[in-house]
Amino acid sequence: MLEEFIPSPSIITGSIIAGLTVAAILAYLNRRQLFVIVPRLFSYSEVSSGQIIELTILNRGRKTEEDVEVQLSPELSYTVIATTLPSLELTDQGFIQLRRLAKGEDVSIVLSAEGGEFTQESVLSITSKETKGEVKNKIEESQEVPPAAAAGAFAFIFIFMPVIGYFFGNVFVDEIWPDIHPKTKIERVVSERLEKSGWEDIDEYLQALDFSSENSEWPIVVSFPSRSGDLLKFKVDINNKLKSRAEFRVSLSTAFDSNVYLRRTGDWPNSIESGILLLPNEHTKRTLEAYIPYKASTKLVVFDFSVETPDNRYSFKYVWQYEGRK
């Protein structure tokens, strides 16, 4: 009962890809954006004999920044003239410190600098508890995203992350999922074995059979054919291993035109068996005929199977090939 609520491996892989892509988009939208702006330098003032500097500390991110610190050149000495945040502190080593800067908040500070020339390069860095910010010359620069950075971000989100999701999704499906869901491992082993023997597109039907071990027998057996003139006769043994009644249909096709055989013999090869209704655990044997001349060097027959239950319909193939005369 619980297995009905467990998603398929393909859904898990798709979910991992989608989840990583959404996470990357959210991370990009919620990225931290901390700036210190140096818009004006005044070389003359009646308030101070040194230079007057105006700085703006700006949080454009969507999260509050804590323990914000702006480092100024330690070769100069600084004095606070005015600020929009009374709790702002300036240390003797040239560090401007803010305990907290809310999202979208900005703080302006006017300083005097003495002991040398203050330039925009004298603002060494801005950091917080969680990130390292950037020094800009204009407020407008903090609002712009460089084209290369934007292209890189979108490439990362829409190309790199889906590739990573696909890789780890397949690792999960191939390595982890079979351990936590043994039935998946059994189905994979049985599927690989059957595909090597000529069966195709069997995964959905295989899942419905509820195999209990890797050695479980496939419920349809196509025996090696016998020859009658230009006809190959195949015996097909069908077992209904489903939990409900099922109607089976099987047809075969070859590269040779059966009309040739009809015109020559007046008979049509029995290449279709349909309406085979079986209850659970019932089985039947049918014989199908394929027109393949004896002299044909390569003999290829494709069997098309369909199984219809009250709730589902399954389709798969079996390819029989033989080189030489038979």
Rounded Cα distance between 272 and 231, Å, is 14
Amino acid found at 65: E
What pLDDT, on a 0 to 100 scale, did the predictor assign at position 52? 87
Amino acid found at 145: V
What pLDDT, on a 0 to 100 scale, did the predictor assign at position 222? 95
CA nearest neighbour of 119 among 68, 76, 69: 76
User: What letter does residue 2 receive in the DSSP assignment?
Assistant: G
Tell me if 267 sits within 8 A of 297, measured CB to CB.
Answer: no
pLDDT in tens, 108-150: 998 888 888 888 888 999 999 888 988 887 766 555 445 555 4
Half-sphere exposure of 110 (CA within 13 A, CB side): 11
User: What letter does residue 132 receive in the DSSP assignment?
Assistant: B
Rounded Cα distance between 169 and 190, Å, is 22
What pLDDT, on a 0 to 100 scale, did the predictor assign at position 294? 87
Q: Where does residue 156 fall: left (phi above 0), alpha (psi -120 to 50 degrees), or beta otherwise?
A: alpha
Name all domains of the chain by residue range, CATH numbers in brackets: 2-29+148-180 (no CATH), 34-132 (2.60.40.1170), 185-323 (2.60.40.10)
What pLDDT, on a 0 to 100 scale, did the predictor assign at position 216? 77
**Can you read off the two tokens belonging to residue 202?**
């069997």
Parts of the chain with a pLDDT under 70: 1-30, 39, 43-48, 139-184, 212-214, 324-326
What pLDDT, on a 0 to 100 scale, did the predictor assign at position 214? 66
| CA 100 centroid distance within chain | 39
Rounded Cα distance between 33 and 53, Å, is 23
What pLDDT, on a 0 to 100 scale, did the predictor assign at position 43? 63
Q: Where are the beta strands (DSSP E) in the chain?
A: 34-42, 51-59, 65-72, 77-83, 89-90, 95-101, 106-114, 123-127, 134-136, 199-200, 220-222, 226-228, 231-239, 246-253, 272-278, 283-291, 298-308, 313-323
What pLDDT, on a 0 to 100 scale, did the predictor assign at position 1? 36
